[in-house]
Amino acid sequence: MSANLSTLRPVHVIGAGWHPYQNASDTPFVTLGLTAIRAALADAGISWDAVDSTYVATTALGIGSGGAMLRYLGLTGKPIIHVENASASGSAAIRQACLEVAAGLNDVVLAIGVDKVAPLRPARNQAGIATLADHLIMPPTHFALLADRYIAQSGARPDAFAHVAVKNHGNAARNPMAQRQKVRTLDDVLGSRPIAGPLTALQCCPMGEGAAAVIIASENGAKGLQADFDRAIRVAASTTITESPQARTDADLVAHSVAQALDQAGRTPADIDVAEFHDAFSVEELVYLEASGIAPAGRAADMLAEGAFHIGGRCAVSPSGGLIGMGHPMGPTGIGQIAEIAFQLRGEVSGRQQPGARIGLASMVGIGPVGYAHILERP
Amino acid sequence: MLVAARCSVCETMMFPPQSYGCLSCGTAKDGLVEATIPATGILQATATVHMHPTHPVPFTVGRIRIAHDIMLNALLTDAAGQPRIGEQVSARLNNASSVSEDMTSRTIYFCADGGAP
């Protein structure tokens, strides 16, 4: 079998919306999710009863969260499927929605990510296998080790990563949906609390809650509903891989999943105008820019300093603020990436629009490990 | 030496040892046999941890490539000087004097080669 989004019928983002990402609060997840879904339905110009099925990306809400939320849109009897793939849960929901529409099973499918703050409990730590120190390696430490390796290989200065955070906090400050809303200087970032290796608190994504929704549709489905198809954004590629002897690291997973997606879409890294990555920790953005081919090996820090990855540069990277600035509420994160890129490609973003953006990349990794890549294109 | 697991079907070596199944071919249980790997490797990266929910900070961890191209994470000690990337490091059992609540007296540290045990 080799069917993919380039061989099946075309699929499109026809609507997207968020509940702002925010610090932990008393707001019920139902409010978070319904706010994002209603925003996406309004953006698409369709009603809830037009949605054929729903994928719910969540990691921390307990069982049956979809029905507990969607019932307040009206009981339609349509399928609900919950999806969990760690940080990439939302990306997985997007992919499943795309495949369901591309395969012709349904015309209009919703991907909704919603989460509240809860302790991270990686199942691998419950496998009953004693390790030397893996139980002491929290995510920031995992990526601090990556930072140390990157410095050794590229000769980058330890403050290279802090510049990523300055850019992403700056973008987030112009995004009303972002959890972090403050512009930060290099001194702010470097002077924040040390966490692990060169990573300080402002170079790490915040814990938070929120929701993001994206509606995927076929052209016929959208037009049958009199949806505003002129604003539709094509999902040209969707790929996912897991760990293998050839892909052992996060960078490997990004490299392989993005290369497959570019091949599927018939594009090259130079075609990407806007990109969102799993920049949960600042070092990741530089490493994944190189893994994806958007920056040559060892060049990402220099290109960042030259402005290549700022809004208005060669390729706007993390224009939403990324996971560092916009936030990383887990279930919503991968869906929010797709929503941000769709709005960027429509040219509808206020205050942080990448000029002339036509092609976008969303790349995600998650504990597992898993890798996802999606390429979106303005027709 | 480190206790590892070896697949009797495809010869893949695995650390940490387990009996769930071979990471390469899926062979289970009796097909996985106990083996040893020299407790020595090349340091790939280090990180000093300043924030941890249970373990006293700061402490330093390293990623180490040992035989059979296996990567492992381990605690590092500078007892024999600060280990550097690309250097050979070896495992040492710690002495019990600095044992914290969540560590047993058998905690293994890696240190720069040539260091006193």
In this complex, do A197 and B47 lie within 8 Å of one another by their Cβ atoms? yes
* Cα A217 to Cα A108, A209, A233, distances in angstroms: 4, 27, 10
pLDDT of residue B114 exceeding 70: no
Q: What is the pLDDT of residue A200?
A: 98
In this complex, do A145 and B52 lie within 8 Å of one another by their Cβ atoms? no
Q: How confident is the model at residue B115 (pLDDT cuts 50, 70, 90)?
A: very low
Is the CB of B25 inside 8 Å of chain A's CB atoms? no
Nearest to B49 among A131, A196, A245 (CB): A196
In this complex, do A194 and B50 lie within 8 Å of one another by their Cβ atoms? yes
Q: What is the pLDDT of residue B102?
A: 45
Q: How confident is the model at residue B116 (pLDDT cuts 50, 70, 90)?
A: very low
Eight-state DSSP code of residue B14: E
Per-residue b or e along A275-312, where b marks 16 or more CB atoms closer than 10 Å to that residue's CB: bbbbbbbbbbbbbbbbbbbbbeeebbbebbeeebbbbe
Q: What is the pLDDT of residue A89?
A: 98
pLDDT of residue B101 exceeding 50: no
How many contacts, defined by CB atoms under 8 Å, are there between A and B? Answer: 76
Q: Give dist(CA B34, CA B22) in Å, integer.
A: 12
- Three-state secondary structure call for residue B63: strand
DSSP for A356-374 reads T--EEEEEEEETTTEEEEE
Is the CB of B57 inside 8 Å of chain A's CB atoms? no
* Cα A320 to Cα A93, A94, A232, A330, B74, distances in angstroms: 20, 18, 20, 16, 36
Q: What is the pLDDT of residue A135?
A: 87
- Three-state secondary structure call for residue B112: strand
Q: Each residue of A291-335: pLDDT tens digit?
A: 999 999 999 999 999 999 999 999 999 999 999 999 999 999 999
Is the CB of A63 inside 8 Å of chain B's CB atoms? no
Residue with tokens 């990567």: B71
pLDDT of residue B103 exceeding 80: no
* Cα A322 to Cα A169, A291, A325, B5, distances in angstroms: 8, 17, 5, 41
pLDDT of residue B104 exceeding 70: no
**Which parts of chain A have pLDDT scores under 50?**
none
Residue of A120, A121, A141 to mutate for B, most B C-beta atoms under 10 A: A141
Eight-state DSSP code of residue B79: B
Token pair listed for A341: 């890129």
Q: What is the pLDDT of residue B113?
A: 84
Residue A86 C-alpha, separation from nearest chain B C-alpha, in angstroms: 21
Nearest to B61 among A130, A137, A152 (CB): A137
Q: Give dist(CA A329, CA B1) in Å, integer.
A: 42
Q: Give dist(CA A260, CA A335) in Å, integer.
A: 20
Are A272 and A260 spatial neighbours (Cβ–Cβ below 8 Å)?
Answer: no
Nearest to B44 among A144, A149, A193 (CB): A149
Q: What is the pLDDT of residue B106?
A: 57
Q: Which residue of B has its CA nearest to A152?
A: B85
A166: left (phi over 0), alpha (psi -120 to 50) or beta: alpha
In this complex, do B16 and A197 lie within 8 Å of one another by their Cβ atoms? no
Is the CB of A369 inside 8 Å of chain B's CB atoms? no
Q: Strand B59-66 to strand B40-49: parallel, antiparallel, or no bridges (unpaired)? A: antiparallel
Q: Give dist(CA A240, CA A372) in Å, integer.
A: 4
pLDDT of residue B94 exceeding 80: no
Rounded to the nearest angstrom, the gap between the alpha carbon of residue B7 and the centroid of all alpha carbons in its chain is 20
pLDDT of residue B98 exceeding 70: no
- Three-state secondary structure call for residue A50: helix
Q: Each residue of B32-72: pLDDT tens digit?
A: 999 999 999 999 999 999 999 999 999 999 999 999 999 99
Eight-state DSSP code of residue B10: T
Q: Give dist(CA A163, CA A188) in Å, integer.
A: 11
pTM: 0.95
For helices A282-291 and A160-172, give the axis angle rounded to 10 degrees: 100
Is the CB of A196 inside 8 Å of chain B's CB atoms? yes
Q: How confident is the model at residue B95 (pLDDT cuts 50, 70, 90)?
A: low
In this complex, do A193 and B50 lie within 8 Å of one another by their Cβ atoms? yes
Find chain B residues with C-beta within 8 A of A248's C-beta: 71
% of chain B residues with pLDDT over 70:
85
Are A215 and A40 spatial neighbours (Cβ–Cβ below 8 Å)?
Answer: yes
List the Cα angle A148/A369/A156 in 5-degree steps.
Answer: 20
Residue with tokens 């045990």: B117
Q: Which of residues 82-111 of B touch A (CB under 8 A)?
A: 85-86, 108
